[in-house]
Amino acid sequence: MRTAQRTVRTENGPHSGPYSLATRRSSIRKVGWVATQPIVKMPDMALQAPRYLAPFHPKHIAHFFTDVLIIGGGLAGLRAANAVDSKLSVLVVTKDELKQSNSNYAQGGIAGVLAPDDRFEDHIADTLTAGGDLCDAQVVEMVVREAPEHINELIHWGTQFDRESGKLTLGREGGHGHNRIVHALGDATGKEVMRAVIEWTQRLRNVEILERTFTLDLLTHEGVCRGALVADEKGAKTLVWAKQTILCTGGVGQVYRESTNPPVATGDGHAIAFRAGAELRDMEFVQFHPTVLYIAGSSRSLITEAIRGEGGRLVDRQGHRFMLDYDERAELAPRDIVSQAIATQMEKTRHPNVYLDLSHLDPQFVLKRFPGIAATCAKFGIDITHDPIPVRPGAHYMIGGLIVDQHGATTVPGLWAAGEVTSSGLHGANRLASNSLLEGLVYGEHAGRAASEAAAQIADDFRALPLQNEPMNQPLEPLDLGDIRNSLKSLMWRAAGVRRSRDELVAAAETIDNWCRYVLARQFGDAEGWELQNMLTLSRIMVSAALAREESRGVHLRTDFPATDDEHWHKRLCYRRNDDGSLEPVVT
């Protein structure tokens, strides 16, 4: 393989040159942020992340060759596949079925300036305000201005958004100053969008989709990503060699006990990129959705923010509408404010939840607008037209992830990323509602196009590189992985949930370190073990970042540092893996 050439944006303007690791790290850090510097005060971190999770030898397992490898089959991944030149081969790998992604479960919709009385400047301002002054203004403007084009593209691909009198119905959600949210099937936008995009992508002859396949690790040689090591449901491994690789693996919600995310959201993409040397940023910023259906013994179901946008009210156990006590925008305040208010109100009333009240709204409108939520609640004897809906916050969206530039390039040559696995600068310290599917569309297209251009410059000279990871001599004492996983999820919810404090975070770090010492030191043969190792790795980084940021900003609430501290903390926390497996923290 030869080195790809491309244009790199820096403070001094575009230039062309070898797409080296140093160039890419420099260019990414210079777009909108100051140069990195060591963190002065950081807790000791015992995490020793292995480079590869499983043993492999190139002479003993199968090989697969493709021009572009896309890991993840959600909206960002499929949009990337659609952006690749039809002359190039594309392999999309997803660890479950295509429909099992955060994209599919999105209820609210996609934000875009489509109404005559709305402006790009207003959407930009709403995004920057929600982001706690940590957004990249250039990125925000780029994404917002591209939104209408991508929404119209989805319509062209067959997405049936909700309409009234032939015109798109535009909803409003917390943090938005205008009605600009397109939605489908009332409260099942992700399901309809993914249906249309999957059908469109499956028609492409150059795209092959491999479902129920777990990606263990990225393959790197001389600092360049060369593909990935994957395994099927039976554990049989394959080396997938690719000229360019795009990560679109979604979020990390399953590290928390309370989460809206599907079971597949275990942070695999974040973890495999970290082990491959990619830099992660903003890992302390996890958005908690304020309203998750809370019924003991049942799975947690998202109650879309659009309910509050349509007039739903939050009340406590005494029926008091409490949001006006915390913010003049009441239920339409950004998610971080609503989540924190709910947590405080639950503590005041000593009650495990609060309630959403829709009884003052027209029943026919409620049932038409929110059919999915009505059906889910009805299973538990709740009629949403007059019964209060019990809700509490749950982990919803991972704002932090791989550092990417506006093309989706990461800090590892040959590796690109899009969607929830990234830290693009769009969300800052708090994501504005319905900007996530939009980000996946925009960055999916950018990453797919850029990776396609880079792959086209590389000759078809696939050769298996001298990579291998031999089995280690290890004890075979069995572990109850389910017990560790459940304990980790509960620990993260207590220590790194809506509210954080130094004492809780330090104790959590020590506990996770103890688990890491004997769990990361093993080699497992199936997804249960690999997922747990990824979850432990990501949890430890998240706890370290939450402990380091001694202020409250956006979704990050430190009860021991309740104020926002721009003087000391108007900066970004970054982490990368050293060659010995240890964590190296930096700030931007």
Q: How far apart are CA 275 and CA 579, in angstroms?
A: 9
Closest to 451 (Cα-Cα) out of 246, 215, 229, 219: 246
Nearest C-alpha neighbor of 304 from the set 331, 340, 344: 331
What DSSP character marks residue 34?
P
- Torsion angles phi and psi, residue 96, rounded to 5: -135, -160
Look up residue 546 and give its two tokens: 């939450």
The answer to whether the CB of 44 falls within 8 A of the CB of 386 is no
- Name 280's bridge partners: 402, 575
Round to whole Å and give the CA distance between 376 and 381. Answer: 9
335 is catalytic: yes
Picking from 412, 420, 406, the residue whose alpha carbon sits closest to that of residue 450 is 406
Answer whether 301's CB lies under 8 Å from 105's CB: no
- What is the SS3 assignment for 166-227? CEECEECCCCCCCCCEECCCCCCHHHHHHHHHHHHHHCCCCEEEECCCEEEEEEEECCEEEE
Q: What residues are paired with 224 via a beta bridge?
A: 221
DSSP structure class, residue 473: P
Where do we find the tokens 């923290």? Answer: 585
Catalytic pick from 29, 180, 308, 335? 335
Element (H, E) at 287: strand 286-293
The C-alpha atoms of residue 408 and residue 79 are separated, in whole angstroms, by 13
505 burial type by CB count under 10 A (0-12 exposed, 13-18 middle, 19+ buried): buried
Contacts of 380 (CB under 8 A, 6+ apart): 295, 298
What are the two backbone dihedrals, phi and then psi, of residue 48, each rounded to the nearest 5 degrees? Answer: -125, 90
Q: Which residues are catalytic?
A: 335
